[in-house]
């Protein structure tokens, strides 16, 4: 790894586990190259902490190429840092200037409790997905892809929503800690396509019910989520979810519990 | 729990109630401004007092008025419930305040709404309550000669304790005797602090609706590439600018009149 000449001060949230209170601890990050990603910078800091027999800073990461949704970090007031449309693993240190102080916090939400340091438990998202983020199909030989025609605008819209990586930055950015951007992206991705239609109205009820149960806040359409989402999921999805939900509740026969995935 | 109860207890159901009551209040604003434009007529309050009298004695309007009061209360109660829920969804806050792009109005709906609630309470006790229940307002008598259409105005002292209004015609002269709420408007808006309070409250309406009007459409799920620009335009220029200016001109104009008395 190339060494560089950036020296930074980090204010990092350290918390032993979900039971103990945390606090900010200040670290020096020295000899940082501007070509490093933000996570590589933290690796350098952790290496020196390990050498000193200190506990390294815990943070979530996996793919390090912006596709898995593991990395998080609320950096200087922005989930995934100050640059638009990227994840923290795609954030380069050249975004910052030499001598800068960087404050790093975990996602803050009652539904995402801190596990350790900067890592939070985002299994609430998994439970919402399990409640309805799927389609029920019998396995077997796949149909010919061209047998079902889908208008390109619809396919594009569904695909844009499907790019949501479930990182939770929308919750972190929202003043209400609302998960509606995430949930609406999942609902749109399936609900717009023919394969998702049969369960469209049971799905939206099941997923919204689970979202409420997890203790997320209520959207007030401020648009902070859309601005911070690394995948640029749009606020329009939330309106679409609302529309489907009210249609389901007021005009449709389906119940939330009809959505069982064939069990 | 019944299905309807479940629906309206869900996060989206509560938001639906906020949006519907909010939009109902928006339509009320249009009517309220329209009627109050009569304040700009130079007729010693004849049209305005007659209008106020009509509002308080026409049963369909009275029914709508009660729906309006309920809407205000429900809107405010749900605002409180949702705000508390949103607070508890983030028990530990950030050390660095979020820097995300979001309009100032959208982040301060609770504060703006609280100013509105305070204003509505004061406004209603000064005008609505004193009109309906207090016996402090005097009466005016407007005599219109139906041949020449000239109206003269004078004080009227009721002969009976619970007198409300009367309209009669004698010798081709129409006599209208009504409560003089117009005098209360003149008196209230001759005080600078009172005018300032109104202007601040009206500014709060403007900012509340700058976000609120379009937000309500999103909440209802009525977002479409073709109509969204119209909703934005209407929310910004009509509810955020024209309506507030119309309302603000009333206290300012009456304050100006009071200076030249
Ligand atoms: C009684 C005092 C009031 C309080 C405490 C209050 C508070 C609030 C709050 C906290 C919101 C939620 C923010 C959001 O969803 O974006 C809201 C939304 C709204 N308010 Fe009010 N408000 C009040 C009066 C009014 C009045 C007088 C009007 C109309 C003239 C109004 C119209 C709206 C609209 C249209 C919304 C948007 C609903 C939505 O987003 O779905 N509010 N209000
Ligand atoms: S909507 Fe965007 S911010 Fe929210 S979980 Fe999906 S990718 Fe992350
Ligand atoms: S580590 Fe996978 S998206 Fe950042």
Query: ipTM value of the model?
Result: 0.93
Find all residues with CB under 8 Å of B140, minimum gap 6, and list them: B44, B45, B49, B153, B154, B155, B156, B177, B178, B179, B180, B182, B183
User: Chain A interface, mutation test: which of B87, B212, B223, most A Cβ atoms within 10 Å?
Assistant: B223
Is the separation of the CB atoms in B21 and B75 below 8 Å?
Answer: yes
Interchain proximity A212–B106, CB inside 8 Å: no
Mean pLDDT of A132-157: 89
| pLDDT tens-digit readout, A200-221 | 999 999 999 999 999 999 999 9
Interchain proximity A227–B214, CB inside 8 Å: no
On whether any CB of chain A is under 8 Å from the CB of B106, the answer is yes
pLDDT at residue number B2: 81
pLDDT at residue number A11: 98
| Domain annotation covers residue B87 | yes
CATH value at residue B202: 1.20.1300.10
Residues A202 and A245 in one domain: yes
Interchain proximity A77–B98, CB inside 8 Å: yes
**Of the candidates A101, A103, A77, A86, which has an alpha carbon nearest to the alpha carbon of residue A37?**
A86
Residues A16 and A54 in one domain: yes
On whether any CB of chain A is under 8 Å from the CB of B223, the answer is yes
Interchain proximity A110–B90, CB inside 8 Å: yes
**Domain span at B72:** 2-92+104-135+183-259
**Domain span at A106:** 6-116
User: Chain A interface, mutation test: which of B18, B221, B222, B231, most A Cβ atoms within 10 Å?
Assistant: B221
Residues on chain A touching B23 (C-beta within 8 angstroms): none
| pLDDT tens-digit readout, B38-73 | 999 999 999 999 999 999 889 999 999 999 999 999
Beta bridge partners of B167: B176
Number of domains in chain A: 2
Residues A240 and A161 in one domain: yes
pTM: 0.94
Residues B8 and B58 in one domain: yes
Question: Which one-letter DSSP state was computed for residue B38?
Answer: G
Interchain proximity A77–B97, CB inside 8 Å: yes
On whether any CB of chain A is under 8 Å from the CB of B1, the answer is no
**Of the candidates A136, A107, A139, A141, which has an alpha carbon nearest to the alpha carbon of residue A124?**
A107
Average pLDDT, chain B: 94
As given in the structure block, the two tokens for residue B228 are 């969204």
Interchain proximity A239–B222, CB inside 8 Å: yes
Q: Cβ of A2: how many Cβ atoms within 10 Å? A: 8
Residues on chain B touching A191 (C-beta within 8 angstroms): none
Q: Indicate if ligand 1 lies below 6 Å from the C-beta of B83.
A: yes
> Does the pLDDT at position A258 exceed 80?
no
Mean pLDDT of A182-205: 95
- The 10 Å CB-count burial string (b at 16+, else e) for B19-28 is bbbbbbbbeb
pLDDT at residue number B242: 98
| Domain annotation covers residue B120 | yes
pLDDT at residue number B160: 83
| Domain annotation covers residue B40 | yes
Please state, in angstroms and rounded to a whole number, the distance separating the CA atoms of residues B187 and B202: 19
Q: Which ligand has the minimum distance to the alpha carbon of residue B239?
A: 1
Residues on chain A touching B85 (C-beta within 8 angstroms): 217-218
Domain limit, last residue, from B179, B203, B231: B179
Mean pLDDT of A231-249: 97
Residues on chain A touching B10 (C-beta within 8 angstroms): 208-209, 212, 245
Q: Indicate if ligand 2 lies below 6 Å from the C-beta of A182.
A: yes
Interchain proximity B86–A249, CB inside 8 Å: no
Calculate how far, in angstroms, residue A55's C-alpha sits from the geometric centre of ligand 3. Answer: 23
Number of domains in chain B: 2
Residues B88 and B125 in one domain: yes
Residues B195 and B241 in one domain: yes
Calculate how far, in angstroms, residue A213's C-alpha sits from the geometric centre of ligand 2. Answer: 19
Residues B130 and B145 in one domain: no
Residues A57 and A77 in one domain: yes
Residues on chain A touching B92 (C-beta within 8 angstroms): 108
Residues A239 and A148 in one domain: yes
**Of the candidates A207, A191, A211, which has an alpha carbon nearest to the alpha carbon of residue A199?**
A191
| pLDDT tens-digit readout, A34-89 | 999 999 999 999 999 999 999 999 999 999 999 999 999 999 999 999 999 999 99
pLDDT at residue number B206: 98
As given in the structure block, the two tokens for residue A1 are 């790894």
As given in the structure block, the two tokens for residue A192 are 């717009």
Interface A-B, measured as beta-carbon pairs within 8 A, has a size of: 134
Interchain proximity B221–A82, CB inside 8 Å: no
| Domain annotation covers residue A51 | yes
CATH value at residue A156: 1.10.1060.10
Interchain proximity A222–B219, CB inside 8 Å: no
User: Chain B interface, mutation test: which of A15, A79, A102, A175, most B Cβ atoms within 10 Å?
Assistant: A175
Nearest to B91 among A110, A209, A224 (CB): A110
| Domain annotation covers residue B188 | yes
Mean pLDDT of A99-116: 98
**Of the candidates B209, B218, B229, which has an alpha carbon nearest to the alpha carbon of residue A245?**
B218
User: Chain B interface, mutation test: which of A220, A224, A226, A236, most B Cβ atoms within 10 Å?
Assistant: A220
Residues A132 and A252 in one domain: yes
On whether any CB of chain A is under 8 Å from the CB of B41, the answer is no
Domain limit, last residue, from A87, A116, A145: A116
Residues B19 and B109 in one domain: yes
Residues B75 and B170 in one domain: no
Residues B110 and B234 in one domain: yes
| Domain annotation covers residue B163 | yes
User: Please, which pLDDT band fits residue A3 given cuts at 50, 70 and 90?
Assistant: low
Q: Cβ of A94: how many Cβ atoms within 10 Å? A: 12
Residues on chain A touching B84 (C-beta within 8 angstroms): none
Q: Which ligand has the minimum distance to the alpha carbon of residue A168?
A: 2
Is the separation of the CB atoms in A66 and A89 below 8 Å?
Answer: yes
**What does A184-244 look like in DSSP terms, one character per residue?**
HHHHHHHHTSGGGGGGHHHHHHHHHHHHHHTT-B------HHHHH-TT---THHHHHHHHH
Is the separation of the CB atoms in A78 and B99 below 8 Å?
Answer: yes
Q: Indicate if ligand 1 lies below 6 Å from the C-beta of B247.
A: no
| Domain annotation covers residue A205 | yes
Residues A97 and A138 in one domain: no
Interchain proximity A241–B221, CB inside 8 Å: yes
Residues on chain A touching B215 (C-beta within 8 angstroms): 220-221
Could you tell me where the beta strands, DSSP code E, fall in chain B? 139-145, 150-156, 166-170, 173-179
| Domain annotation covers residue B72 | yes
pLDDT at residue number B134: 74
Residues A215 and A144 in one domain: yes
Q: Indicate if ligand 2 lies below 6 Å from the C-beta of A241.
A: no
């Amino acid at each position: 790894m190339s060494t560089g000449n950036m020296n930074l001060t980090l204010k990092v949230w350290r918390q032993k586990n979900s039971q103990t209170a945390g606090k900010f601890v200040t670290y020096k990050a020295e000899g940082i190259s501007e070509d490093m990603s933000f996570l590589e910078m933290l690796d350098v800091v952790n290496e020196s902490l390990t050498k000193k027999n200190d506990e390294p800073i815990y943070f979530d990461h996996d793919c390090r190429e912006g596709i898995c949704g593991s990395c998080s970090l609320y950096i200087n007031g922005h989930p995934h840092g100050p640059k638009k449309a990227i994840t923290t693993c795609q954030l380069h240190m050249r975004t910052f200037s030499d001598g800068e102080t960087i404050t790093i916090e975990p996602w803050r939400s009652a539904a995402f409790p801190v596990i350790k340091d900067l890592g939070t438990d985002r299994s609430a998202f998994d439970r919402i997905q399990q409640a309805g983020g799927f389609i029920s199909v019998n396995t077997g030989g796949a149909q010919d892809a061209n047998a079902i025609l889908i208008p390109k605008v619809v396919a594009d819209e569904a695909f844009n929503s499907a790019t949501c990586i479930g990182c939770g930055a929308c919750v972190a950015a929202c003043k209400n800690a609302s998960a509606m951007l995430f949930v609406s992206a999942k609902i749109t991705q399936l609900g717009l396509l023919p394969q998702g239609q049969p369960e469209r109205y049971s799905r939206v009820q099941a997923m919204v019910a689970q979202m409420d149960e997890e203790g997320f806040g209520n959207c007030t359409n401020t648009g902070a989520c859309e601005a911070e989402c690394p995948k640029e999921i749009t606020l329009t999805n939330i309106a679409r979810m609302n529309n489907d939900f009210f249609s389901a509740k007021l005009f449709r026969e389906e119940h939330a519990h009809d959505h069982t995935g064939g069990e | 729990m019944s299905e309807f109860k479940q629906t309206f207890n869900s996060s989206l159901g509560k938001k639906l109630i906020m949006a519907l009551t909010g939009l109902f209040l928006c339509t009320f604003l249009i009517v309220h401004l329209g009627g109050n434009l009569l304040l700009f007529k130079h007729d010693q309050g004849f049209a305005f007092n007659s209008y106020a009298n009509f509002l308080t004695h026409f049963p369909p309007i009275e029914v709508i008025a009660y729906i309006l009061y309920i809407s205000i209360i429900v809107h405010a109660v749900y605002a409180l419930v949702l705000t508390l829920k949103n607070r508890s969804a983030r028990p530990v806050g950030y050390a660095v305040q979020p820097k995300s792009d979001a309009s100032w109005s959208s982040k301060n709906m609770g504060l703006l709404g609280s100013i509105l609630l305070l204003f509505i309470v004061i406004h209603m006790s000064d005008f609505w309550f004193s009109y309906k229940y207090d016996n402090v307002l005097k009466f005016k008598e407007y005599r219109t000669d139906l041949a020449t259409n000239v109206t003269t105005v004078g004080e009227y002292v009721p002969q009976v304790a619970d007198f409300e209004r009367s309209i009669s015609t004698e010798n081709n002269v129409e006599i209208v005797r009504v409560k003089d709420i117009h005098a209360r408007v003149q008196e209230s808006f001759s005080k600078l602090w009172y005018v300032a309070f109104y202007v601040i409250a009206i500014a709060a309406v403007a900012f509340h609706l700058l976000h609120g009007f379009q937000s309500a459409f999103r909440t209802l799920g009525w977002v479409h590439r073709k109509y969204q620009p119209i909703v934005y335009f209407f929310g910004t220029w009509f509810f955020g600018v024209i309506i507030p200016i119309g309302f603000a001109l009333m206290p300012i104009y009456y304050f100006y009149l009071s200076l030249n008395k």
